[in-house]
Amino acid sequence: MMEEIALIFTSYNIFYILAGLGMTLIIAVVTLFGGTLLGTVLALFNTYGKHTGKIAAVIVEIFRNTPLLLWVFVAIAAVPLPSLLSRALVATVIFNAAIISEIIRGGLNSIPKGQIEAGRSQGFSFIQIMIYIILPQTFRRIIPTLTSQCITIIKDTSYLAQIGIAELMFVVKKLMSTANTFTGHPITAQDVFILFGTAAVIYFVINFSLSVAVRKMQKKIDITVK
């Protein structure tokens, strides 16, 4: 087992895995921020718009009831952007925007309506009320849920291995399928175990830290509410 580990983790392969991890994190960060930005717009339409609200609600339902991988495939076939990665990011951002907009909507509904009227009476415009009064409070309340969604986003980046984007899952899978070139013997279940096990540990460390943070934040919120 130790020999096998030494054979597999050449410095080149370690670097390759780290590059894959970097790609995973880049995809996750772009998806989280893009999704939150677009999700906020969707949530505002959904909560305060009349006709636009219905359209936003339909968009949200469509994405909530279909798999991410479908949208990745659709984006690859239909989005007129140069690289595979940028097309895939369009899919992950829009898909997560729909999910995140539901989280934000829950937050928006928990803010008393009187605050909007109070803002109006002070001469704030609707957009000013949102930016200075409503959204800051909303985000403070939904940060734990949003962090949970971040875990989902990190896990879901692994779907992009299917379209050949060199993120962590793809990298590990590729190393596994070429393991015979650096171990010098045909691929064994042990190689699968070592490589996929490594990936599992990496994903776990990141996501578990986030989930511990979520629990801490929730406890804090529970205490302040009590």
Partner 1 sequence: MNSGVFALWRWEALWEARQEFIDALFVTVEVSFFALILALFLGVVFGLFSSGNNKILKGIARVYVEFFQNTPLVLQVLFMYYGLLYAGVGLTKEQIGVIGLGVYTGAYISEVVRTGITSVSYGQTEAALSQGFTHLQAMRYIILPQSVKIALPPLVNQMVALIKNTSVLAMIAGGDLMYRSNAWASNGTLSYGPAYLTCGILFFCLCFPLTYFAKRYEQKLKNQANSSDKEVSAG
Total residues in contact with partner 1, by rule CB under 8 A: 40
Site for partner 1 in 29-48 (CB under 8 A): none
CB-facing half-sphere around the CA of 192: CA atoms within 13 A = 4
Tokens coding 103: 């989280």
Would you say 152 and 92 are in contact if contact means Cβ atoms under 8 Å apart?
no
Shortest CA distance to 105 belongs to which of 49, 155, 67, 156? Answer: 49
Per the CB < 8 A criterion, the answer to whether 103 and 142 are in contact is yes
Residue 204 near partner 1 by CB under 8 A: yes
Instruction: Out of 18, 29, 55, 70, name the contact with partner 1 by CB under 8 A.
Output: 70
Establish if 196 lies at the interface with partner 1 (CB under 8 A).
yes
Nearest CB to partner 1, comparing residues 4 and 124: 4
Nearest to 155 by CA among 13, 27, 34: 27
Residue 174 touches partner 1, criterion: CB under 8 A: no
**Cβ closest to partner 1, residue 45 vs residue 63:** 63
CB neighbours of 18 closer than 8 A, spacing ≥ 6?
none
**Which residues in this chain contact partner 1 in the complex, by CB under 8 A?**
61-62, 64-70, 73-74, 77-78, 151, 154-159, 161-162, 169, 173, 176, 187-189, 191-193, 196-197, 199-200, 203-204, 207-208, 211
